[in-house]
Amino acid sequence: MKADVQTPKLRRDQLAPGESLCNYCTAKCCRYFALPIETPDTFSDWEYVRWYLLHHGATVFREDDTWYLLVYSECQHLQADHRCGIYETRPQICREYSTKECEYEDDWCYEQYIETPEQAAEFAEATLPRKKGQSIRSTKPPLLPIVT
């Protein structure tokens, strides 16, 4: 039995003149969308972030001081060959999208990336200013009874 040999991923600078990068991609741009959200800087804002993250496929990230709601949801017109099934009538946002700076290489990293409601709560607790008199320490437990 012969083992499958994976070909190394083609680099952007290896494309032949006029060749499309999309021929080598798995259509990452068609598998999610990200929308800017207001910077969460209050407890109430972070409750909204927690609510987003309770939904399947949702994450929140920050890039260049802008926060985004990212939703992993594949376009319903993405075909098995990673091509657009409505290419001639695709939405304007798709027409304006360019492979010049797309995420083909996978060599980037988010400044902040939050996947779970628990992470959102922990981040809020760690970064929001404390209320006057509020301590980061747990409350003092009651004294144990003396057994005689």
In this structure, the number of other CB atoms found within 10 A of the CB of residue 59 comes to 19
pTM, whole model, 2 decimals? 0.75
Which residue shows structure tokens 């996947």? 115
Angstrom CA distances, 93 to 29, 30, 89, 98, stand at 11, 11, 11, 10
Tell me the per-residue pLDDT of 50-63, one tens digit each, with 9 for 90 and over: 999 999 999 999 99
pLDDT, residue 137, reads 63
pLDDT, residue 140, reads 75
pLDDT, residue 138, reads 66
Over range 2-24, report the average pLDDT. Answer: 80
Contact 135, 60 (CB under 8 A): no
Q: Is the pLDDT of residue 5 over 80?
A: no
Query: Given pLDDT bands bounded at 50, 70 and 90, which one contains residue 18?
Result: confident
> Could you write out the DSSP letters of every residue in 7-63?
PPPPPGGGPPTT--GGGG---GGGSEEEEEE----SHHHHHHHHHHHTSTTEEEEEE
Query: Given pLDDT bands bounded at 50, 70 and 90, which one contains residue 132?
Result: low
